[in-house]
Amino acid sequence: MTKASRPRTAADRKHRLQRILDALDLRYPGVTCALRHHDAWQLLVATILSAQCTDERVNMVTPDLFRRYPTIHDLAAAPVQEVAAVVRSTGFVNNKAKNIVGAAQTILRDFGGQVPGTLDQLLTVPGAARKTANVVLGTAFGIPSGVVVDTHVARISNRLDLTRHSDPVKIERDLIAILPESRWIQFSHQVIHFGRELCQARKPRCAQCPIAAECYAKDKQ
């Protein structure tokens, strides 16, 4: 497959980025977070559980978790070890269970039982680092607080030369600098779907890729 040439000017880079965004829009219109949830609290819990775990696995675990503990009050009062037993298959269960119970207690104590709607407030909640906060704010509240950088977004952003960093904070900074704020939320959702379907880490399906014309990755096939 022919490799794309690198854009030479700022205008060329801008046009290339727009072509990438247009291709993602065409392939993945209206996609949203893959974590199943009914409200901001359930999304926060699911996102905490998704660390070092697939969304598919989380979606298998959360229905049972919320049947056992249907409200934030229930989880705030739950023994950590009992919660850990329910979420065991997501990995790192002791830390995740502690964070979930701590998050429930913090939100009840400090925010009247409502998941806070600002980045600074969310970052005070146990288990809610920047990625988690961006997921909750973007998906539950429609607030573009930043760009969610998971493993797919990090890998594909490097592959497409939208960043040359490996640190998620630096990758997010680069993406924020080039993406319109109106695209911060949707971009992550689209790239995550793209990474799962086509631009897979072990064997990217380049022949079927709608962005192939814009890609000059070294391992492009």
Q: CA-CA distances (angstroms) from residue 12 to 19, 25, 150, 156, 208?
A: 11, 20, 27, 20, 24
Which of 4, 62, 55 lies closest to 193, judged by CA? 55
CB distance 169 to 130 below 8 Å: yes
Tokens matching residue 211: 């962005």
Tokens matching residue 47: 């996102």
Active-site residue, 12 included: no
N residues, the chain: 221
User: Which of 55, 96, 131, 174 is the catalytic position?
Assistant: 131
Q: Residue 186 and residue 33: Cα distance in Å, rounded?
A: 9
Q: Residue 211 and residue 200: Cα distance in Å, rounded?
A: 14
What end-to-end distance do the CA atoms of the chain give, in Å? 6
Q: Residue 160 and residue 17: Cα distance in Å, rounded?
A: 9
Q: Residue 98 and residue 126: Cα distance in Å, rounded?
A: 8
User: Which of 25, 98, 150, 220 is the catalytic position?
Assistant: 150
Active-site residue, 131 included: yes
Residues belonging to the active site: 131, 150
